[in-house]
């Protein structure tokens, strides 16, 4: 093995160390081989024809070394190895080093190597031959002179000498790579070991066979060309197999196996640089094409394959030199970029990739759009191994796709399968499966329901409550409700959670009724709940079990839930409407196709999202949007509930706009059921004054219970 991976340019930071090592190897080789080479001129007349024939074949062979395709970098196999090793066994170190050095000079001239590289290669081989000779002498002190009888000990000595030759030669080259590129020595040693061991061992073991043939007749030596050709074919086939194993056959890009190896190498390199205080980040970008399946379905897989080839070409042209572009399979690609200053540099690469895909690809005269979503994960912030970086880049990519963005960086809150979330999900399942209605468990806390009053703006009457989930975890404290729902709705635990919430709320309504308090409670349901009719069956069963009128329970759904699977969701909503359970559209104004939903669905109420209500007292645009929503819902005969009412000015603006119901901290914070009963006993309506002409719509009869006026009307109040 020569230093095939070494290039003429060396980074300034390592130049001194690297070239110092190169010339040290050369100096050691000269010192070790000086005496044998000095004695060589006196031995030349006595050297037989077999020696000269081997020397000629060695030089001629290295003029055209075996260079397998598909390697990165491409290692060459030099036939002179078998001849110089045979000469070492037969005539000693001096002749072997002389022939090998001449062969290196010829091959370096033919391959246009720099002087330092030719000198290093010659020194590397000389050191390897010197060590091999010393190992052979330990077993065969008299040397392998002509006429000796070969024993098994001699065979083992030759094998040991060949192994020593390989370890010295290969070890010196990998050390040079370590100093040249800063990679770990073991990584460099391991990367090409299999190929180099097989190819060089084949050549070295031909050496003693060649020497044995020379003892019979010099005419047998040229026959070595046939096994040398076999070694050449082996090297070429090995290179082809390596190429197939590391490249994508369609696009010619690197494949997943190559990416795994490169990430491991780059992580080791960055870890060493970080230990030295050298800054730098490693970025893994994951790209998934948009609408590629449509291309395959409409135009066929042949057109899809051509599109992937063009995408691969554009990606390669858009990244920095040295970045690795990978096709992982299907329409998924990856880019590995090292030595980055930070996140901004990674985003710049991603933006360049996105820009390269904006131009349509013309295939058979048809322009095809090939945009995509890109996820970014950085080492070490987002992972310290390939699997973690890959998973986090995948999370970021789907986050970008979900949000409609082109590029997204990994964020833990978007990772539904992070260890923290998986642990939280396991705890949630445990608390939901714990015995007792309260769901208490010592090590996972307790699930409880809080209730926030909803007030009729015109009269100040309490017309209902919204049931809100709370979970106090013994280690995490109060778990954020949004985080809790995000964790649960991605798994079957959502079914358990919905069952618990419905059971608790319906049972609480029954308890209030027994105490003389008739309140309507609204419950939020997720997309997963609406995909089957199970929730409708469950609600019907619980209402019958606790003898609660359907009009006292209301379900809130979001527009996002409607868009997930409109056909199945509509079927579930229709069943609930037939039971008598009212449906409210939550977060009104933040979703999709609101007019269509208001027209087609059996809705009783819309809830104006708090993002608009919070700003209407200080932002004229928000106030105008809220007024428009109220007018639209009123024209369709729907009740309007405003969320996030936190001050008197907002309350009065909503009253002036004709909003029906308000909910927010201006009235009361969410509270447990026991506290709500106390709050109801002390509550006194706030009178806003007369309703402006034309703004008062929908009046519901009310009844006074324990000094509180509560709604007795149809179940369309949240």
**pLDDT tens, position by position, 86-95:** 888 888 899 9
Closest CA to 561 of 543, 539, 578, 584: 584
Query: DSSP letter string over 94-133?
Result: HHHHHHHHHHHHHHHHHHT--HHHHHHHHHHHHHHHHHHH
Q: What percentage of residues in the chain have a pLDDT greater than 90?
A: 26
What mean pLDDT do residues 200-209 have? 82
What is the C-alpha separation between 457 and 711, in angstroms, rounded?
13
Say which CATH superfamily domain 256-414 falls into: Reverse transcriptase/Diguanylate cyclase domain (3.30.70.270)
Q: What is the CA radius of gyration of the chain?
A: 40
Sign, CA dihedral 298-304-310-315, equals positive
Q: Nearest 5°: phi and psi at 108?
A: -65, -40
Range name among 213-217, 218-222, 228-232, 594-598 with the lowest pLDDT average: 594-598
* Band of residue 713 on the pLDDT scale cut at 50, 70, 90: very low
Q: Give the C-alpha separation, 481 to 449, whole Å.
A: 11
- CA angle at 426 for the pair 425 and 429, rounded to the nearest 5°: 85
Residue 7 has pLDDT above 50, yes or no: no
The answer, yes or no, to whether residue 243 has pLDDT greater than 90, is no
Compute the average pLDDT of residues 225-231.
Answer: 73
Tens of pLDDT, residues 312-358: 999 999 998 889 999 988 889 999 998 788 888 999 999 999 999 98
**Model confidence at 673, in pLDDT bands (50, 70, 90)?**
very high
Closest C-alpha to 644, from 654, 634, 636, 635: 654
Better pLDDT: 251 or 686: 251
- Distance in angstroms (rounded) separating the CA atoms of residues 546 and 506: 7
| CATH code linked to domain 422-689 | 3.20.20.450
| Structure tokens given for 595 | 């007019």
Q: So what's the pLDDT on residue 560?
A: 65
pLDDT at position 472 is 86
CA distance 661 to 464: 10
Please name every residue paired with 367 in a beta bridge, in sequence order, or none if there are none: 362
Residue 152's pLDDT is what?
Answer: 73
pLDDT band at 405 (very low <50, low <70, confident <90, very high): confident
DSSP state of 6: -
**pLDDT on residue 18:** 77
What is the mean pLDDT of the segment spanning 441-461?
84
What's residue 284's pLDDT? 94
pLDDT (average), residues 407-415: 81
DSSP 185: H
Strand pairing of 372-379 and 671-672?
unpaired
* Per-residue confidence band for 72, with pLDDT thresholds at 50, 70 and 90: very low
Residue 699 has pLDDT above 60, yes or no: no
CB atoms within 10 A of CB 325: 26
φ, ψ of residue 398 in degrees (nearest 5): -70, -25
- Residue 61: pLDDT band with limits 50, 70, 90: confident
Mean pLDDT value of segment 534-549: 92
Dist. CA 524–CA 501, nearest whole Å: 9
The full DSSP string for 451-484 is EEEEEETTT--EEEEEEEEEEEETTTEEPPHHHH
Q: Which residues contact 269 (CB under 8 A, 6 or more apart)?
A: 181, 182, 183, 184, 338
- In sign, the C-alpha dihedral spanning 536, 538, 544, 549 is negative
Task: Give the closest residue to 197 by CA, choosing from 175, 161, 165.
Answer: 165
Which of 600-629 are b and which e, b meaning 16 or more Cβ less than 10 Å from the residue's Cβ?
Answer: ebebbbbbbbbebbbbbbeeeebbebbbeb
Structure tokens at 367: 């322009």
Instruction: Tell me the average pLDDT of the chain.
Output: 80
Averaged over 263-277, what is the pLDDT?
76
Q: How far apart are CA 73 and CA 3, in angstroms?
A: 10
pLDDT at 715 over 60: no
Question: Residue 190: pLDDT band by 50, 70, 90 thresholds?
Answer: low
The pLDDT of residue 140 is 62
pLDDT tens readout for residues 103-129:
999 988 888 888 888 899 999 999 999
The tens digit of pLDDT for each residue in 413-433 reads 666 666 677 777 788 888 887
Spatial contact of 329 and 392, defined as CB atoms under 8 Å apart: no
Q: Name the 3-class secondary structure at 66.
A: strand
Q: Cα separation of 353 and 347, whole Å?
A: 10
Is residue 360 classed as helix, strand or coil in its secondary structure? coil
pLDDT at 73: 43
Taking each helix axis as running N to C, give the angle between helix 419-433 and helix 481-488, from 0 to 180 degrees, rounded to the nearest 10. Answer: 90
341: helix, strand or coil: coil
CA 467/CA 57 separation, integer angstroms: 91
445 touches 431 (CB < 8 A) = yes
Confidence of residue 589 (pLDDT cuts 50, 70, 90): low
Flag whether pLDDT at 208 surpasses 80. Answer: yes
């Amino acid at each position: 093995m020569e230093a095939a991976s070494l290039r003429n340019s060396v980074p300034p930071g390592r130049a001194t160390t690297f070239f110092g090592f190169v010339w040290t190897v050369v100096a050691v080789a000269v010192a070790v081989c000086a005496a044998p080479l000095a004695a060589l001129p006196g031995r030349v007349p006595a050297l037989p024809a077999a020696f000269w024939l081997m020397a000629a074949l060695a030089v001629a062979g290295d003029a055209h070394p075996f260079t397998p395709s598909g390697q990165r970098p491409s290692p060459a196999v030099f036939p002179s190895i078998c001849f110089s090793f045979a000469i070492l066994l037969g005539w000693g170190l001096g002749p072997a080093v002389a022939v090998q050095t001449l062969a290196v000079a010829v091959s370096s001239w033919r391959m246009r190597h720099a002087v330092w590289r030719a000198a290093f290669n010659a020194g590397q081989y000389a050191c390897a031959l010197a060590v091999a000779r010393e190992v052979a002498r330990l077993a065969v002190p008299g040397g392998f002179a002509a006429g000796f009888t070969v024993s098994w000990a001699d065979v083992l000595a030759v094998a040991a000498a060949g192994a020593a030759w390989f370890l010295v030669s290969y070890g010196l080259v990998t050390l040079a790579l370590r100093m040249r590129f800063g990679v770990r020595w073991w990584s460099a040693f391991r990367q090409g070991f299999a190929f180099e061991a097989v190819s060089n061992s084949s050549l070295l073991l031909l050496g003693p066979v060649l020497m044995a043939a020379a003892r019979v007749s010099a005419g047998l030596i040229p026959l070595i060309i046939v096994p040398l050709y076999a070694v050449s074919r082996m090297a070429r086939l090995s290179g082809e197999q390596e190429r197939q194993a590391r490249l994508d056959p369609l696009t010619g890009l690197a494949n997943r196996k190559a990416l795994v190896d490169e990430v491991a190498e780059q992580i080791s390199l960055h870890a060493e640089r970080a230990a030295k205080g050298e800054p730098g980040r490693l970025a893994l970008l994951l790209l998934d094409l948009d609408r590629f399946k449509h291309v395959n379905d409409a135009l066929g897989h042949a057109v899809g394959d051509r599109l992937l080839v063009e995408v691969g070409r554009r990606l390669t042209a858009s990244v920095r030199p040295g970045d690795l572009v990978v096709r992982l399979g299907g329409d998924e690609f990856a880019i590995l970029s090292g030595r980055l200053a930070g996140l901004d540099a990674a985003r710049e690469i991603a933006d360049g990739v996105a820009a390269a895909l904006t131009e349509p690809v013309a295939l058979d005269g048809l322009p095809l759009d090939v945009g995509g979503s890109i996820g970014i994960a950085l080492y070490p912030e987002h992972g310290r191994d390939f699997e973690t970086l890959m998973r986090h880049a995948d999370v970021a990519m789907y986050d970008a796709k979900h949000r409609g963005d082109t590029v997204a960086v990994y964020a833990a809150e978007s990772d539904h399968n992070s260890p923290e979330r998986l642990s939280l999900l396991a705890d949630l399942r445990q608390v939901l499966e714990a015995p007792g209605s309260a769901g208490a468990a010592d090590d996972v806390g307790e699930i409880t329901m809080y209730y926030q009053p909803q007030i009729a703006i015109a009269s100040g009457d309490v017309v209902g409550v919204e049931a809100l989930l709370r979970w106090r975890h013994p280690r995490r404290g109060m778990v954020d409700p949004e985080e809790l729902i995000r964790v649960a709705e991605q798994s079957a635990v959502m079914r358990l959670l919905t069952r618990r919430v419905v059971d608790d709320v319906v049972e609480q309504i029954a308890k209030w009724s027994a105490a003389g308090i008739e309140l309507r409670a609204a419950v939020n349901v997720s997309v997963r709940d609406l995909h089957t009719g199970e929730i409708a069956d469950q609600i019907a069963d619980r209402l019958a079990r606790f003898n609660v009128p359907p009009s006292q329970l209301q379900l809130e759904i979001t527009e996002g839930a409607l868009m997930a699977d409109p056909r199945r969701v509509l079927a579930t909503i229709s069943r609930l409407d037939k039971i008598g359970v009212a449906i409210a559209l939550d977060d009104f104004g933040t979703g999709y196709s609101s007019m269509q939903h208001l027209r087609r669905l059996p809705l009783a109420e819309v809830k104006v999202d708090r993002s608009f209500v919070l700003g209407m007292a200080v932002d004229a645009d928000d106030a105008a949007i809220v007024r428009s929503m109220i007018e639209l819902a009123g024209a369709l005969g729907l009740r309007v509930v405003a969320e996030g009412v936190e001050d008197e000015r907002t309350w009065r603006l909503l009253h002036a706009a004709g909003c029906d119901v308000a909910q927010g901290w201006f009235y009361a914070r969410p509270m447990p059921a026991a506290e709500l009963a106390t709050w109801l006993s002390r509550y006194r309506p706030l009178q806003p004054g007369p309703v402006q002409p034309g703004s008062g719509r929908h009046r519901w009869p009310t009844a006074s219970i324990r000094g509180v006026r509560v709604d007795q009307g149809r179940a369309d109040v949240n």
